[in-house]
Amino acid sequence: GDSVTQTEGQVTVSESKSLIINCTYSATSIGYPNLFWYVRYPGEGLQLLLKVITAGQKGSSRGFEATYNKEATSFHLQKASVQESDSAVYYCALSDRSAGNKLTFGIGTRVLVRP
Amino acid sequence: EAAVTQSPRSKVAVTGGKVTLSCHQTNNHDYMYWYRQDTGHGLRLIHYSYVADSTEKGDIPDGYKASRPSQENFSLILELASLSQTAVYFCASSVGTGVAETLYFGSGTRLTVL
């Protein structure tokens, strides 16, 4: 079945520094899956941060970027300069036609940005 | 304001007891979902529904029932709660089930079964 592997545990980074959260995937679909990053801020529900449905394309939102790399089966999330407000849990996910378009999530990566 | 609201925010239940988690959405979405998250696992789909009075099994439905009495409301029922059902539960809604569909989540219910 489909699976998503992302940076485990907590990542601590100082404000204004760069951040990268690794995400790799495995999908059973004959075609290519669609890839997502969701974010959960403290006390809130998950919300979509960005998505990319075409291999080779890049998605961006709120200063974050992720590129759909089908050769490496990766979808790493990056930000050049983080702010304290970026402290949250980040989830990589994929949807796959062969799985009825259901979302498969990674375990989530907690990001703590220190002032 | 939040368009998907869950209640309660947290709950402590006893083993063998009945637990009902509630979800209400104001998005006017047809699809609603229940997920659980455990330490070391991503969110996993328990049940979902695409129309009132109908529910479907997700990937891990054992030990859970679901109820969709109206488009806005979707409940998850644990008839006999067990220790292994301690987790954080998320409700979500979506317009449809397109391959690039966006889900809108509630803030979660933390359930502890003792």
- Amino acid A47: pLDDT: 95
Q: What is the CA radius of gyration of chain B?
A: 13
Contact between residue B95 and residue B81 where contact means Cβ atoms under 8 Å apart: no
Most confident of A2-6, A17-21, B40-44: A17-21
Looking at residue A77, its amino acid is: L
End-to-end CA distance of chain B: 33
- Amino acid B37: pLDDT: 94
CA distance A17 to chain B (A): 27
Nearest residue on chain B to A108, alpha-carbon basis: B42
Q: Is residue B39's pLDDT more than 90?
A: no
Are A101 and B97 inside 8 Å of each other by CB?
yes
How far apart are alpha carbons A4 and A2 in whole angstroms?
A: 7
Across B80-92, average pLDDT: 97
Nearest residue on chain A to B100, alpha-carbon basis: A34
- Amino acid A102: pLDDT: 80
Across B26-51, average pLDDT: 92
Are B107 and A104 inside 8 Å of each other by CB?
no
| A54-71 pLDDT, tens digit each | 999 999 999 999 999 999
Nearest residue on chain B to A44, alpha-carbon basis: B107
Chain B CB contacts of A106 below 8 Å: 42
CA distance B84 to chain A (A): 18
Are B99 and A97 inside 8 Å of each other by CB?
yes
